[in-house]
Structure 1
Amino acid sequence: MFPIVYQRQLSDSVFEMGVQAPAIARKAKAGQFLMLRVDEHGERIPLTFSDWSAEEGWIRFIFMRVGKTTHQLSHLVAGDSLADVVGPLGVPTHVEGVGRVAIVGGGVGAAVAYPVARAMAEAGNEVTVILGARNKELLILEDEFRALPLKQLIVMTDDGSAGEKGLVTAPLKSLCEAGALDHSMAIGPAIMMKFCAATTKEFGVPITVSLNPIMVDGTGMCGACRVSVDGHTKFGCVDGPDFDGHAVDFEELMSRQRVYSDLEREADADFSRECSCHR
Structure 2
Amino acid sequence: DEVVPNVHRLVIREPRIARKARAGQFVLVMANEKGERIPITLSDWDVEEGTITIYVLELGISTMELVSLRKGDRLFSLAGPLGQPARVEKFGNVLLGGGCYGIGGILPLTRAMKEAGNHVTVIIEARSNYLLYNVEELSSLADDFHITTSDGSVGTKGHVQTKMEELLAEGRTFDRAFFMGCTFMLMQCANATRPYGIPTGVALNAIMLDGTGMCGCCRVSVGGETRFVCVDGPEMDGHAVDWEELFTRKHVYREEEAVSYQSHACRALTGFERESLQGGDE
* TM-score for the superposition, normalised by structure 1: 0.94
TM-aligned CA deviation for residue 32 of structure 1: 0.1
Q: For residue 11 of structure 1, what is the amino acid of its counterpart? A: V
Contact between 2:94 and 2:176, CA under 8 Å: does it hold in 1? Answer: yes
Q: Does 1:27 align with 2:20?
A: yes
Contact between 1:159 and 1:165, CA under 8 Å: does it hold in 2? Answer: yes
Question: C-alpha distance in 1, partners of 2:197/2:14?
Answer: 41
Range moving further from structure 2, 109-118 or 24-33: 109-118
Among 158, 164, 181, the alignment partner of 2:174 is: 181
Task: After superposition, give the CA deviation of every residue in 1:167-192 in whole Å (9 maximum; x if it has no partner).
Answer: 21122123334142111111111111
Question: C-alpha distance in 1, partners of 2:246/2:168?
Answer: 26
Q: Does 1:163 align with 2:148?
A: no
Match in the other structure for 1:113:
106
Match in the other structure for 2:265:
272
Aligned length: 271
Match in the other structure for 2:59:
66
Match in the other structure for 1:5:
none
Unpaired stretches in structure 2, ≥5 consecutive residues: 273-282
Among 178, 182, 186, the alignment partner of 1:193 is: 186
Relative to its length, the structure with more helix (as a share) is 2
Task: After superposition, give the CA deviation of every residue in 1:187-244 in whole Å (9 maximum; x if it has no partner).
Answer: 1111111111111111111111010000000000000000110011100000000011
Question: C-alpha distance in 1, partners of 2:136/2:36?
Answer: 33
Give runs of aligned pairs for residues 167-246 of structure 1, distance below 5 A: 167-177=159-169, 178-246=171-239
Match in the other structure for 1:134:
127
Q: For residue 221 of structure 1, what is the amino acid of its counterpart? A: M
Task: After superposition, give the CA deviation of every residue in 1:72-97 in whole Å (9 maximum; x if it has no partner).
Answer: 11211111110110000000011111
* TM-score for the superposition, normalised by structure 2: 0.93
Q: For residue 265 of structure 2, what is the amino acid of its counterpart? A: S
TM-aligned CA deviation for residue 278 of structure 1: 4.2
Q: For residue 127 of structure 1, what is the amino acid of its counterpart? A: V
Match in the other structure for 1:83:
76
Greater Cα radius of gyration, structure 1 or 2: 2
Q: Superposition RMSD on alpha carbons, in Å?
A: 1.2
Contact between 1:111 and 1:141, CA under 8 Å: does it hold in 2? Answer: yes
SS at match of 2:12: strand
SS at match of 2:241: coil
Question: C-alpha distance in 2, partners of 1:104/1:264?
Answer: 28
Unpaired stretches in structure 1, ≥5 consecutive residues: 1-7
